[in-house]
Chain A
Amino acid sequence: MLEANTVATLAYIILFAPFAAAALITVATLRSKALSAFLSVGSVILGGVLSIILLADQISRGAGAEPVVHQFTWALSRGMAFHIGVQVDFISVLMSTVVGVVGSCIFVYALGYMHGDEGWSRFFAKFAFFAFSMLGITFSTNFLQIFIFWELVGVSSYLLIGYFYQKPSAAEAGKKAFMTNRIGDFGMTIGILLLFFAVRDVFGEIDSLSFETLKGIFTNDGAREQLFAAMGWKAALGAFLIFVGAMGKSAQFPLHVWLPDAMEGPTPVSALMHAATMVAAGVYMIVRTYWLFAWAHDALVAVAYIGGFTALLAASIAIVQNDIKKILAYSTLSQLGYMVMACGLVGAGAGMFHLATHAFFKALLFLGAGSVIHACHSNDIWDMGGLGKKMKQTTWTFWAGTLALAGIFPLAGFWSKDEILAVSHHATALYIVGVGVAFMTAFYMGRACFTVFHGTYRGHGHPHESPRVMWIPLAVLAVVSIFGGFVGAPSSLNPFGEHGLQSFLLVAYLKDGVVHWPVGHGHVEAGLHLDVATVGTLMALGGLLLAWLFYGKGVLSAERVKQRLKPLHTLLVNKYYIDDFYLWLVRRVQQGFAIAANWLEQKIIIGVLVNGIAAGTKDAAARLRKTASGQIHSYVTIVLAGVTILVFWFVIFMVSE
């Protein structure tokens, strides 16, 4: 077990190493490609190694250990103090390990993928900055700090999605991501303020933004009742608004539209964004502030249903996509919906577990897709095919990722998906959604794999295996995706103890680990749930089998099904017209408001208030200046008149009294 000071110092190093790298590259080493790459990749690998040390330390501390909090006072204002620092506990260390390890693989891969790119140094500076922003969220001690880094993630994602800024679609996608996120962040701001002022009104001037302080209040029955009595319906509203922030970052319906477009960025960016950073931030924040959601039941129900709906919506769209990165993007959306649904069903531990395993296999799939795109110079899966023979490393790793995502025993996805299905077992509707999504996931991933790696090659040119610097990270991620799930296995060999990782996560957000869910109650034993696992595995195998029949064996014709279900297919291809609806909203409704506001601004504010006052003053001045004739006599006469009036006034009003 490490000293508290050592733990805090390590956390600061993990946090600031990528920042230092980004700053150094920007100010000093832009010219030297090798040095820039070394700084950027080195800083993240350092973070990964130190995170693993911290994780080992957390395991030695045991489940439910007190968090190590170290913070500085950043700003003092009338009765309010704002702090900034690091909070090291199991959740934050798990997250930083995921960011560090997955990030390291992606950074190394980027060395190969971005080879020969003009903006090389700029790319690595932004990339490191992205990692810094995400680690800032991870180690935040309070709502203000998490919000600042939340925005930094938004900014750096904007920079990276729009990395190919000469391309209009990339610039548009960057803007779309940023603005959609801003909508979520606006909700989050209001939610934080609601909570902040309510806590201050009830408990006086305490550090009412700090997670630990708030956790103390929410886990104490008396204090919580007092706060809820004072807040009334605003408590659930505040929790929901904070969740709206998570909806933006974790791309939940209806703020999910930015994520598929974010594919415009370079593939390593997509991998980082969809696996370890950005989209993970929303789920992470829900888990981080779970003491709040656990008691705001109404908000929790909304969270569960929004998550479930997003999972279903995205999985169905993924089935008809032809762009390999788009398939993975919708798959990410759907898996995020899964995690959010688990959080809403009082399974924050399951959600966090799935977040961690998903990070590994989704990063693997994206990097694999990048490798394929690199070889075929196309994103369309119908331009590929038969790559299994030409790209052996990419193929087996991609299959490993697919099976992990589908949830085949004993790969990583199996364990975490099992947890999610287990927590949703008591809410029948969402359980059916979960099982259905599991089936669809297996189907669309099977479709992609059979089409890309099997059959005959349909594209042009001669695809070949990617260089070693690209497939070694794939292999590392594949190994973790295959074996990583065992941390959730109930076994005495498990480094996390007999009840697996789950037992750490349960106690990490609530001391007693039991939270009542309105529909039943959500305390689920960690480990293997045989009934759920059987259903989940059957669904996954069924999905893969169906995909094989369609795209591998060719017994069934996808074309015929498409003809039969023409309206449904059109609906799916058009992504349920959600983007079109938003576009209509912006073009018609928002544009109408904009025109009205513009008129108000031009005519009333500028025309009357600004220019009107200026013109009036100028006119009055023109009249007044005529009295300043420069003639002594006129001045003297005016003074004389003034004095005379004063004297009369004095005589009449003062003397007579």
Chain B
Amino acid sequence: MSRENKPRALYLHVPFCRSICFYCDFTHRVYRGEDADRWLKALEKELSAKEIRRDLTTMYIGGGTPTSLTAAQLERLLTLLDPYTGSLQEFTVEINPETLDEEKAAILKAHGVNRASIGFQTADEKLLKMMGRRHSFKDVGNCVSLLKDAGIGNLSLDLMYSLPEQTMAGLKKDIEAALSLAPKHLSLYSLIIEDNTVFGKKGYTPLDEETEADMYEYICRVLPEKGYRQYEISNFAVPGYESRHNLVYWHYEDFYGISAGASGKEDHCRYDNTASLKEYLQDPLKKEITPLSKEDEMFETVMMGLRLKAGISMSAFQDRYGISFSEAFSGKAAALLRKGVLVAEGDMLRCAGDHYHLLNSVLSDLL
């Protein structure tokens, strides 16, 4: 593969947490110091074995909880990544409020981290406790100050809604609380209870569909009024502060996936690195590779692209696949355009108003 075709984005998964959140089904292990040390050694091996381009545009360290590492381990991690950070435009680290301190904030800044995504979830202490979170709203405030003081001002907050027992009034309070911290970016996710989570095993049920829909409509209406433009199903930003790294996913571009539990996409293949820390320590390059057919790629381009409010560029689609969108989805696309479910405006093809909230229905019609 020529250098030019290599991904310009990198995702790194830190598979440790200080505690397990009840809604989470990501790869995670409760943090143990010696595990993390061994993991850093394996990571070094993986990075040197992979020929990663050095002029990456975006990098995202997620998890798990990257800040569950000690300051020394965090320093080591970021030092391993230094060779690749020279031309980054956006370098994000996910942060759990209670695991950040001044020292760690300084380390992040020193290695070029310029954006942080903070797990806010909700301001309701009772709900936080029920979710297995160990922070409070006050911790989030402290965390924001620590980051701002360290010089990292581009902050995003992650909120969850449709939580068991949550009310509309509760959601409004959460949004007010989040806005009081003046973040540049907000992600709001409705709770999905997966079977393999603590919630799933305890038999929690999400809120009823109507309340969830009310909440979503409220969010989509209020946040733009406060200056946060919706640019994706669950993402809102002050214009200019959209997540460049995440846009790589939604534009269906390639990206490196590094470390246990990460997935990547390179050269018409998707790969899932082993999710088992034990396996990763033995063989940091162990992964499952899925080749992607042109049909896969075309559908996935649409599946990801229509998540964006702006939609997908039809000329980019044509350039990439040598076939127009309407030809690629012959019949199906025409019917959706005719019914006004999809709208073509200039070069952009997007979901029409109401149908944006029903994207799954639209996609399953295209499948």
Q: Do A and B come from one complex?
A: no
Please list the residues of chain A having a beta carbon within 8 angstroms of any beta carbon in chain B. Answer: none
Please list the residues of chain B having a beta carbon within 8 angstroms of any beta carbon in chain A. Answer: none
